[in-house]
Structure 1
Amino acid sequence: MADTLTGRVTGRAVTGPVDVHVDLLIPIDTLLAEEPGQVAGFGPVPADLAREWATSDEVQVRRLFTYPETGDLIGMESRSRCYRGGLARLVRVRDRTCRTPWCDAPVKQTDHITSYARGGPTSERDGQGLCERCNYVKEHPDYLVGGDAGQTHVVTGGLSASSRPPAPPGHPPPTRSPIRRTLMNIEWQHALRHH
């Protein structure tokens, strides 16, 4: 029926699969009981339908998890392989600069911390903002990346380092010894040159 309506409204026949993206707000009670889910821009949907969509491979569903009592957004993931739209913007705004330790380049790409091929979910917790160079370098077999959005760890050439997103405005950043930071920066750049 939707294909017929689309064809009549646009004057063009729908011949192939339609690329559908759904933002589905899921309270915990939707997963465990009969609390309805919410589709952004549409309204409530029955819990059984929300559970079916959340596990479907047919529809690109961005699952937005909400806290039961307040409805606050507490998590977001997508069944899509790539970071797009609101999820990509959220990661870019959170990280502001490249998450590779001591690379302060602007974020140009958003990608997984644990790669999608190794089972990393397309979620805010597994997303990081990177400059283009660092995003390509992390695919090198001797370059290991792990952790989550709170703290990302990088190991290469026997050296390890970690990074955190910048502190929110109004909160002081964590203090680090300038001498230690300079030494680690020199070691880090040396290790990257020799790979």
Structure 2
Amino acid sequence: MSVADTLVERLTGQVYAEDVDVEVGIVLPVDALVDPQSSATAELVGHGPLPAGIATDLLRLTAGKRWWRRLFAHPAHGTLVGGDPTRRFFDGVLAKLIALRDHGACRDPFCGAPIRHIDHIAGARVGGPTSLGNGRGNCVRGNLLKEVPGWHVHLIHDGLDDHPHTVRTTTPTGHTYTSRAGP
């Protein structure tokens, strides 16, 4: 066993470096998905631009322990509008995007405490996707409170169009509060 393999085993719990799962983000303009001949440029997260054709070839031809998370950019202004919703939990890049969009603060009315939970607006148990639009940063209290009878949280705008990410909270007394993500 080499020194590198010993280091990998100590850091990851895997015996060989080849056994370590790797996740790499690729930001693709939406038009590159529609038009395979597009001259659009993709971005390998943390490394820089590459032609969209090469990015789509990477996604199509690689397999094994490599897992690519596709991140989609708005064709007009290039901001991130979504990613692969293949996970049940908000973690990694998706959790970071939601925390950045929500400015690190709970989106509940009159709260503003630091985000401790990132959770579904429409719960996963009722078919809500694990996505940028359906995710919201909350403090612990806010995340638990939404499960109490009488409290309702609804997504008004997912933020993927010209409207900011908007959530409406209704309390057991019938009061409603609207929360919009800032720029």
Distance in 1 of aligned mates of 2:29 and 2:87: 21
**Match of 2:4?**
10
- Of 82, 105, 108, 1:100 maps to 108
The SS at the match of 2:180 is: coil
**Match of 1:182?**
none
RMSD over equivalenced CA pairs, Å:
3.5
Alignment of 1:106-185 (within 5 A): 106-147=114-155, 148=158, 150-157=165-172, 159-165=174-180, 167-168=182-183
Deviation string 1:136-195 (CA, Å, 9 cap, x unpaired) is 122335432211462212234351413223644xxxxxxxxxxxxxxxxxxxxxxxxxxx
**Match of 2:31?**
29
TM-score by length of 2: 0.64
Structure 2: tracts of 5 or more residues without a match: 7-14, 160-164
Structure index of larger Rg = 1
CA spacing shift, 1:17–1:135, aligned 2, 3 Å: farther
TM-score by length of 1: 0.61
Structure 1: tracts of 5 or more residues without a match: 1-6, 169-195
**Match of 1:76?**
82
Aligned length: 158
Task: Specify the code of the residue in structure 2 equivalent to 1:108.
Answer: R
Identify, as 1 or 2, the structure richer in helix: 1
